[in-house]
Amino acid sequence: MAVAFSSDSSEVINRSLGISSPSRTSPDSVEALYEISRCVEWVKIRGFHKVALQFPDCLLVDATEVASKMEKKTGAKVYILGDTSYGSCCVDEVAAQHVNADCIIHYGQSCLSPTSHLPVLYVFCCRPVDVEHCVQSFRDLIPDQHTRVILMSDVTYSASINDISTRLSQEYTHLVTSRLNIPDSKLDTESSTEMSEHTTDSTPTQENTLKQDSQVICRFGRTFCLQADTELDSYSIFYIGEESLTLTNLMMAYNRCTFYSYNPEERNCRKETLNVNKALMKRYYMVEKAKEANVVGIVAGTLGVSDYLTVINNLKEMIKKAGKKSYTFVMGKLNVPKLANFMEIDVFVLVACSENTLIDSSEFYRPVVTPFEMELACNSAREWTGEYITDFRELLPGAPSHVPMSEGTGEDETDVSLISGGMRRVGLREEEAAGSTAVVKRDDVLTVAESNSGASFLQSLSWQGLEQKLGETEVTTAVEGRKGIAAGYSHEPGAGAEAGRD
């Protein structure tokens, strides 16, 4: 029976771990996959002297070879950015600024969020697609040729979408093809146009839809045109790519559309069965948790996406008007131990790119919500309609989805909690008096006593830290400690020989 509860310690040391590392790209394919010629031309034309190459983990095996080729052909100093501060889909401007880089070349998967400081060249390292098999799978899954369909793809398969669209547009009369909208932050018009043309050329389907009476939709780095007399809800979306954060983000944003996906790696096609309504109900529960919160932590999940500071400042103002307190945190990649250090916080708001803003916070000690969910909790003018916004820039003033803060939020407004069923207070509260640890508001019918100070929270904890007992602890002299290693100390039986070797 003892074996069931313990095992030989050497078994752990000798245990082999089944970890598969990505294989290197063959030298003959590196030039084409990483578009070395295009990158060299871009660096030379703009006269950059320090170039940062950002790689995701799956492409780091080729980083040294790519950097060596870039240095030899450009004469510039090249730096490799590996472990990004946040998601690898975002441009890591912080790491690039540490080496005073003039520009960044971003390789692999990208969320296409606009940057704010440095020029960026995107190289998607496009992977092949079996066009014939994809087209036939499309026909089998969507046999009705009058179905309204929007064709989208992961950025790593964008090179093949035009061939697929050309073949399908001959049969499907209502096919719409999306094209990538490359961010042009800190780039001149010529370079931005050059990159857009390199990534997605115009197709006959797009040329026919680009009319004055069409409506243009541009979200998540993808642009497509619909006829003016049609609604987006009447379209299905056919996505080319694996199951990923990009697909989840699109399904949440276009939650009224039917989704189909084709996986080029596994060569299978399916109708997505994600229960969007259940996912939206789960997110609405997070909104209710945000309404219950008194202390809000604003977590900067990106330092490179454009307008992130504006969103953080807007959140601070909105949270204050809702009668809550806010604190701002910058902590890099999120994990459970980091957020567990701040138990005083009732709910966290993650300001990140559209693909990283939706995280499963079930393992966290406190809920983690999006800026859109926080606005639903604090701004009574914005109502829950089922529409979901993952890009925080769509909430800014001037954006199509911006809703001004309600002016009706007053001091005496109350609301009913859908979680506890009790009454809760919303609206602006009186500022605490200097030196006070409580705010007490009295009227003829109600007395409310509140205390949101850190000291009161500390007093409510069952364990408040080690007792100092200043002047009560006897001072002792230093004594000799244990000798040996963790596997066996000198005072333990049979461990003398191992301890002596140490």
Give the tens place of pLDDT for each residue, 328-347: 999 888 889 999 988 889 99
The fraction of the chain above a pLDDT of 70, given in percent, is 78
Between β-strands 488-489 and 484-485, what pairing exists: parallel, antiparallel or unpaired? antiparallel
Residues 254 and 236: their CA atoms lie apart, in Å, by: 10
pLDDT the model gives residue 213: 64
pLDDT at 202 over 60: no
Mean predicted confidence (pLDDT) in 489-496: 73
Residue scoring higher pLDDT (325 or 409): 325
Q: How confident is the model at residue 419 (pLDDT cuts 50, 70, 90)?
A: low
Q: Does 268 lie in the same domain as 326?
A: no
The residue range of the domain holding 181 is 131-274
Report the CATH number that the domain containing residue 333 is assigned in CATH: 3.40.50.11860
Residue 497 included in any domain: no
Q: Does 216 lie in the same domain as 100?
A: no
Q: Does 374 lie in the same domain as 298?
A: yes
Q: Does 168 lie in the same domain as 93?
A: no
The pLDDT tens digits of the residues spanning 6-42 come to 566 677 677 776 666 777 888 888 999 999 999 999 9
pLDDT the model gives residue 69: 93
Q: How many domains does the chain have?
A: 3
Residue 247 included in any domain: yes
Domain-ending residue, one of 123, 155, 176: 123
Report the CATH number that the domain containing residue 166 is assigned in CATH: 3.40.50.11850
Report the CATH number that the domain containing residue 69 is assigned in CATH: 3.40.50.11840
Q: Does 156 lie in the same domain as 70?
A: no
Residue 373 included in any domain: yes
Residue 494 backbone zone (phi > 0: left; psi -120 to 50: alpha; other: beta): left
Residue 491 included in any domain: no
Residue 484 included in any domain: no
Mean predicted confidence (pLDDT) in 383-392: 86
pLDDT at 460 over 80: no
- The packing angle between helices 276-292 and 245-253, to 10°, is 80
Residue 161 included in any domain: yes
Residue scoring higher pLDDT (199 or 389): 389
Q: How confident is the model at residue 259 (pLDDT cuts 50, 70, 90)?
A: very high
| Radius of gyration, alpha carbons of the chain | 28
Q: Does 210 lie in the same domain as 102?
A: no
Contact 115, 183 (CB under 8 A): yes
Which residues are within 8 A (CB) of 310 and not within 5 positions of it... i.e. 6 or more apart?
396
Ordered DSSP codes for 372-411: HHHHHHH-TTS---S-----GGGGSTTSTT--PPPTT--T
Residue 12 included in any domain: no
Domain-ending residue, one of 70, 99, 123: 123
Most confident region among 132-141, 215-224, 273-282 by mean pLDDT: 132-141
Q: How confident is the model at residue 206 (pLDDT cuts 50, 70, 90)?
A: very low
Q: Does 249 lie in the same domain as 270?
A: yes
pLDDT the model gives residue 435: 45
pLDDT at 196 over 60: no
Mean pLDDT of the chain: 81
Mean predicted confidence (pLDDT) in 53-69: 92
Q: Does 255 lie in the same domain as 180?
A: yes
pLDDT the model gives residue 35: 93
Q: How confident is the model at residue 482 (pLDDT cuts 50, 70, 90)?
A: confident
Mean predicted confidence (pLDDT) in 118-136: 93
